Every structure is written in C-alpha cells, then in structure tokens.
Amino acid sequence: MAKQGYADLSAGRLPHTGDSAEMIADRAAFLSAGHYRFIADALARESSPLTVRPEPSLIVDAGTGTGDYLAHVLDACPAATGLGLDVSKPGLRRAARAHPRAAAVLTDLWRPLPIVDRAATVILNVFAPRNGPEFHRVLRPDGVLLVVTPAADHLAELVAAHGLIQVDPDKAARVSGALEDHFQPVATGTHRHVMRLTAAEVRTLVGMTPSARHVPVADLPATDLTVTAAVELTAYRKKGVA
C-alpha cells in the first residue's frame, strides 16, 4: 500500500507513467467545476439499474484518473463498491480519496488486470485504453461495459482556435477493433454539452488533454470561449454468453 492510500499491484516496472501531476491537477479542477457532469450523469443512469440485485455489485473504472466519474456513479448505486485502476500515481492519489466505497489500484491496463474472473458488474472506460480480453474475463456474464469516447466534433471550437490535436477520424474503427472479438454493442448514444469557458478554464481544459504536451498552455490568448463537448457512450455485452 502506498502512503497516499492506493495499492500498487503493477507487478514490476511499468513502461509508462500515465498523466502527469500537472495534467491531473487541471483535470481535477475542470471536473470539479462541473463541465463534464453530463458524462458522469449518463454513466450513472446506465449503471444504476444494473446494480439493483441481491448480491454485491462491483463497479470497475478502468482508467479512473482522479476517480470523479467512479464517485458519481457510486453515489447513484448505493449497494455497489468501486475499484479504480490507473497507471498514473498523481491520479491515484486523488482516486483513493474520491469515495468511501471505492479503492484505487496502480496497474497497467494493457497487462492482465489484478481482478478475479467474473467479478465486475459494470466496467467504466472513459477516454482510456481498452483491453478487450481482460475486460471480458473480469466482467460478469450479465455485466455491462460502458465505453466513453470523443465524438468527431468534440471540442471542435477549441481545436480550431488553438490548433489542438483533433479526434482521430478512425477512432470508432479502432475502438471496435479492440472489442469486437469479445463484446457486442447493445446501445450507443451521443451526448453533447455547450460550455462557456473563461480564459483560465480554457487553459485548464487544454492542460488536462494530450495537447498539453504540444501546446504551450501559458501562451494561450486570455480570451473566453464557447466550446462544445461531444462524446459517444456505448454499452457492450459479452459475446458467448447464453
């Protein structure tokens, strides 16, 4: 156990360290302002009916970051416990304190996950890597995988104004390729939210994205901006389950 409250189950040296402390701090600030609350609300609506069962429910957040999405879902699922997985130590320091019914674990999502077979009722995967075989192994036969990915026009105004990294036009195909051998989609919905951001919030949003590694955030113009957040939320069921 790390002194910050998360368990290190990485089983050795990791090839990458995930989001930096600066990116995590920006993400925490942006999420706490409620700008992506519409994503958390959508995940909670999908998850809540799945956890109304006699036996305990486990919600796994694969790529938990700060733990905000998992905490919001657990608030809507009072009978469930949560487990947040991530490779970023700065993220896990926050995720370990995100909710009284959640634990946080340091692990690489590309490797075998430190979870027993068929343990999870719900797996959340928000803007994070997708390990199809391992998700299939740890999900219950009647469980659901909820995947959130950016829509084609996600943050389009921000991309146009500051030359940020655009959404990969092959994103949907890559997501399908990662999961199609083990999962079948059962429902897909697009969720949009218009954000009116101050100049400081624009800098924070850029700072929490991969573009922060390529764009000097401190040099961004001090101007407010209206930005559209647009995501796809897809629910998947396991293949090969009667």
Q: Match 């000097």 to its residue by tokens.
A: 216
Walk me through the domains of the chain, giving residue ranges and CATH numbers. 7-150+168-191+231-238 (3.40.50.150)
Is residue 149 marked as binding? no
- CA–CA separation, 120 and 122 (whole Å): 5
Which tens digit of pLDDT belongs to each residue from 29-88? Answer: 999 999 999 999 999 999 999 998 878 899 999 999 999 999 999 999 999 999 999 999
Is residue 36 marked as binding? yes
- Cα dihedral across residues 51, 57, 62, 66: positive or negative: positive
Kindly provide the residue ranges of all beta strands, DSSP E only, lying in 87-200, ordered along the sequence. Answer: 102-106, 120-126, 139-150, 183-197
Nearest-5° Cα angle at 124, 174 to 117: 95
Is residue 236 marked as binding? no
Which tens digit of pLDDT belongs to each residue from 176-223? Answer: 788 999 999 999 999 999 999 999 998 898 888 876 566 666 667 778
Distance, CA of 148 to chain centre? 7
pTM of the model: 0.93
pLDDT, position 11: 77
Is residue 66 marked as binding? yes
pLDDT over 70, % of the chain: 92
